[in-house]
Amino acid sequence: MDIFKFKQFDVDQTGCAMRVNTDGVLIGALAEANDPKNIVDIGTGTGVIALMLAQRFANAQIDAVEIDKNAADTAQQNFKQSSYHNRIATHFKSFEYFFDSQPEPKFDLIISNPPFFLDSLTSANDKKNLARHTDSLFFKRLLGYIFHHLTDNGTCQLIMPLATTAIIKDMLLKHNLYLQKIIAIKSFVDSVPHREIVTFGKKQKEIVERGFVIYDAPKVYSAEYRATLKDFLTIF
C-alpha cells in the first residue's frame, strides 16, 4: 500500500500514474468559491483535490470524473474511506461523456489539474501519457462544456504551466468566458513562475493577479505555503 496521509483523510496512490503532487494540493487549497453547492473535479486521479474541496466546503456535492480505470477505482476507494463519502461521487468516464449524460446540471465550481503537455511526444508509460499528454483540441472541447455547465456566477479554475495557460487565455473569449484571476506560482521569490492557477467564468470582472512562493530556501517552505496547507498536510 502506498498511502499519503493528510490530517483529515488518507490517499492511497497504489497503481496511480499521477501521484499526490504540489500542483494538486495547491489548487485544492487555493481554489476560491462562495459556498458552492455543486463541484466537478475533472481528471480526479487519486481524488486528492475532490477530498480537499470536500473538507473545505461542507455544503458541496462533488462529482469526480476520471477516464483511467485504475485511477477511478483508487479514487472511489479513497472517497469511501473518508468521512466525506456521502458527498463525493466517482464517474469513470471522459468529461465529455459525463457532461453529455447529464446536460442539465450546472456547477458552481469546475476544477482541474489537467493534462498539459500540448502536442508533445508520447511517453513510454501509457498511463502517464494518458494523464499528462494531450493536444489543444482537448481545451477547445473542455471550454465549450464549461460554458454550458457553469452557473452564472460560477468559476472554472485550472492549474497549468504558463505556456498552456497562454493558450487557454487566447481561447476564452471565443467561448464567451472571461479571465478573472491569475495566481503565478514560483519555487523561490526570485524564480520565474512555473505554474499559474487561472480562474475564469461567465462574468467579466477586473482581472486580479498575484504571486505565490513555495520555498524560502531549498527544502524550507515559505510561510505562505505553510499557512495555505496547514489544515491538510501533516508536516505542518
pLDDT of residue 45: 92
171: DSSP letter? H
Inside any domain, residue 111: yes
CA–CA dist 91, 66 (Å, integer): 6
Q: The CATH number of the domain where 180 resides is what?
A: 3.40.50.150
Inside any domain, residue 236: no
Inside any domain, residue 235: no
CA dihedral (64, 187, 219, 217) positive or negative: negative
Q: Which cell numbers in the block locate residue 167?
A: 493558450
Q: Which cell numbers in the block locate residue 33?
A: 468559491
pLDDT of residue 163: 85
Task: Render 52-110 in DSSP notation, one character per residue.
Answer: HHHHH-TT-EEEEEESSHHHHHHHHHHHHTSTTGGGEEEEES-HHHHHHHS-S--EEEE
pLDDT of residue 211: 98
Q: Which residues contact 192 (CB under 8 A, 6 or more apart)?
A: 186
pLDDT of residue 62: 98
CA dihedral (134, 10, 225, 109) positive or negative: positive
Domain limits for position 212 = 3-229
pLDDT of residue 131: 41
CA–CA dist 211, 197 (Å, integer): 10
Q: Return the exposure string of 64-88: e unless at least 16 CB atoms fall within 10 Å of the residue's CB, then b.
A: bbbbbeebbebbbebbeebebeebb
pLDDT of residue 134: 52
pLDDT tens sequence for the chain (236 residues): 789 999 999 999 987 777 899 999 999 999 999 999 999 999 999 999 999 999 999 999 999 999 989 999 999 999 999 999 999 999 999 999 999 999 888 999 999 997 654 444 344 454 444 344 455 677 888 999 999 999 999 999 999 999 889 889 999 999 999 999 999 999 999 999 999 999 999 999 999 999 999 999 999 999 999 999 999 999 99
137-146 pLDDT, tens digit each: 778 889 999 9
pLDDT of residue 117: 47
Q: Report the number of distinct structural domains present in the chain.
A: 1
pLDDT of residue 130: 39
CA 58 to chain centre: 18
3-state secondary structure of 176: coil
CA 158 to chain centre: 6
Inside any domain, residue 234: no
Provide the whole-model pTM: 0.91
Inside any domain, residue 17: yes
